[in-house]
């Protein structure tokens, strides 16, 4: 069976890191013997420039027909002054909503050779391996009503924080399943001391726990969770939370690893199809210079193999190759020490891709 994959390079460094990761995907498909068919389309700022929309209908239609989407990044200064609903980011949010990608998996893993890059003391982050499961199609990001209106001669802005029971239950079950296959611990993050919507969240997550006796469930308020993440991050295994808290906590967790350029993500629908993208942004300041780190996009391809393409061996092989290139001393600028030792070799985007490919021979 041939699986369709849609490639959306997007903006900034996206068009540089995506081809490198596609080459890796083609290599593992060949080596592990699964058939893929690639197509590409426009999204984000580039799509605005060429079609007037950050998510042209053709792109969404192609994405809906694909088993997996590989996305580079969207956005850049050229589009910063557009109104909220016309910005490149809407392309991303439209894909999440249109494909019902409700489960966002954001691993924060510390790569041993990069331990020094963390802003925390290395003993606090050594061997760190956290997985944040963020609800991605609900909560305050999508709640209605929303807007800015004029009341009594002044403007009033408002959004709605809303979750239904089934939305909470399905993301909780994804997180419980993942926790059961990892360290067996799940921390649900809410603000149940203040917000009714998250009191419901806590109730529904607790009820789902009855079906997962092998997982130890805990609850934390989001302010405390933010503090605990920087105080003692290794206390966490899997964290499950809503859309906005997950947005914020996943950036904190990413920074703990000291290497935003290394982190992949997966956004999954109920049928296992998904969108895979690096956590880093479009980095317009280094775009077009062969400086970007392609490893987060390559690791996103590994997640694609594991979660959507049913090719766990390919996923393992890619992850092993990435560890090996780092252990061998290859570094793009973002993860290169200021005064590197003689065992470190600084490389560009394409060369880093070639290093990974060679290990996948």
Q: Which residue is nearest to Mg ion (CB)?
A: 247
Here's the x/- map for Mg ion, 104-133, by CB under 5 A: it reads as: ------------------------------
The question of whether 247 is a catalytic residue gets the answer yes
> Which whole-number Å values give the CA distances from 276 to 9, 185, 200, 215, 317, in the listed order?
12, 25, 30, 27, 18
Near ligand IPM by CB under 6 A: residue from 247, 254, 296, 311:
247
Segment (H or E) for 237? none
The catalytic residue among 11, 46, 62, 141 is: 141
What is the rounded CA–CA span in Å between residue 270 and residue 289? 38
> Which whole-number Å values give the CA distances from 131 to 92, 140, 223, 235, in the listed order?
21, 22, 18, 12
Site for Mg ion in 223-262 (CB under 5 A): 247
The catalytic residue among 46, 191, 237, 307 is: 191
Q: Check binding of 89 to Mg ion (CB under 5 A).
A: no
The question of whether 169 is a catalytic residue gets the answer no
> CB-wise, 3 or 104, nearer to Mg ion?
104
Interaction partner, residue 92 (Mg ion, ligand IPM, none; CB < 5-8 Å by kind)? ligand IPM
What count of other Cβ atoms lies within 10 Å of the Cβ of residue 347? Answer: 20
Give the side-chain half-sphere CA count within 13 A for 235.
14
Number of residues that bind ligand IPM (CB under 6 A): 4
CB of 132 to ligand IPM, least distance (A): 10
The residue with tokens 């030792």 is 341
What count of other Cβ atoms lies within 10 Å of the Cβ of residue 146? Answer: 13
Interaction partner, residue 319 (Mg ion, ligand IPM, none; CB < 5-8 Å by kind)? none
The residue with tokens 């003391």 is 121
Q: Check binding of 11 to ligand IPM (CB under 6 A).
A: no
The question of whether 221 is a catalytic residue gets the answer no
- b or e along 107-119 (b: 16 or more beta carbons within 10 Å of the residue's beta carbon)? bbbbbebbbebbe
The catalytic residue among 247, 291, 307, 334 is: 247
Largest CA distance in the chain: 68
Q: Where does residue 145 fall: left (phi above 0), alpha (psi -120 to 50 degrees), or beta otherwise?
A: beta
Site for ligand IPM in 13-32 (CB under 6 A): none
The question of whether 46 is a catalytic residue gets the answer no
The catalytic residue among 129, 251, 290, 316 is: 251
CB of 68 to ligand IPM, least distance (A): 17
Here's the x/- map for ligand IPM, 87-116, by CB under 6 A: it reads as: --x--xx-----------------------
- Closest-CA residue to 4 (of 91, 62, 45): 62
Site for ligand IPM in 130-149 (CB under 6 A): none
The question of whether 316 is a catalytic residue gets the answer no
Residues contributing to the site for Mg ion (CB under 5 A)? 247
Residues contributing to the site for ligand IPM (CB under 6 A)? 89, 92-93, 247
- Hey, which residues are catalytic here? 141, 191, 223, 247, 251
């Amino acid at each position: 069976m041939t699986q369709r994959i849609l490639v959306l390079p997007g903006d900034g460094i996206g068009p540089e890191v995506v081809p490198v990761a596609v080459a890796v995907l083609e290599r593992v498909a060949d080596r592990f013997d699964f058939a893929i068919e690639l197509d590409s389309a426009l999204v984000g700022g580039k799509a605005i420039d060429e079609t007037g929309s950050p998510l042209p209908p053709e792109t969404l239609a192609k994405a809906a027909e694909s088993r997996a989407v590989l996305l580079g990044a969207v956005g850049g200064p050229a589009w910063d002054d557009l109104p909220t609903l016309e910005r490149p980011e809407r392309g991303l949010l439209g894909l999440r909503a249109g494909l019902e990608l409700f489960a966002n998996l954001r691993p924060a893993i510390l790569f041993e050779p990069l331990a020094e890059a963390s802003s925390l003391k290395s003993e606090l982050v050594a061997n760190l391996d956290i997985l944040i499961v963020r609800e991605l199609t609900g909560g305050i990001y999508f709640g209605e009503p929303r807007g800015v209106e004029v009341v009594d001669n002044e403007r009033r802005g408002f959004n709605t924080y809303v979750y239904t029971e089934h939305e909470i239950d399905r993301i909780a079950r994804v997180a419980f399943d993942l926790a059961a296959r990892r360290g067996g611990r799940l921390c649900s993050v809410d603000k149940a001391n203040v917000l009714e919507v998250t009191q419901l969240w806590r109730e529904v997550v607790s009820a789902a726990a009855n079906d997962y006796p092998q997982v130890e469930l805990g609850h934390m308020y989001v302010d405390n969770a933010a503090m605990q993440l920087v105080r003692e991050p290794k206390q966490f295994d899997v964290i499950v939370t809503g859309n906005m808290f997950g947005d914020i906590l996943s950036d904190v967790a990413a920074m703990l690893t000291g290497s935003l350029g290394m982190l992949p993500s997966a956004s999954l629908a109920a049928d296992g199809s998904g969108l895979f993208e690096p956590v880093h942004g479009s980095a317009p300041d280094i775009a077009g210079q062969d400086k970007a780190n392609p490893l987060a996009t390559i690791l996103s391809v590994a997640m694609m193999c594991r979660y959507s393409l049913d090719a766990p061996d390919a996923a393992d092989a890619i992850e092993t190759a990435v560890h090996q290139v780092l252990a061998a001393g290859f570094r793009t600028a973002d993860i290169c020490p200021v005064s590197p030792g003689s065992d470190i070799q600084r490389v560009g985007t394409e060369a880093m891709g070639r290093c990974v490919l060679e290990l996948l021979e």
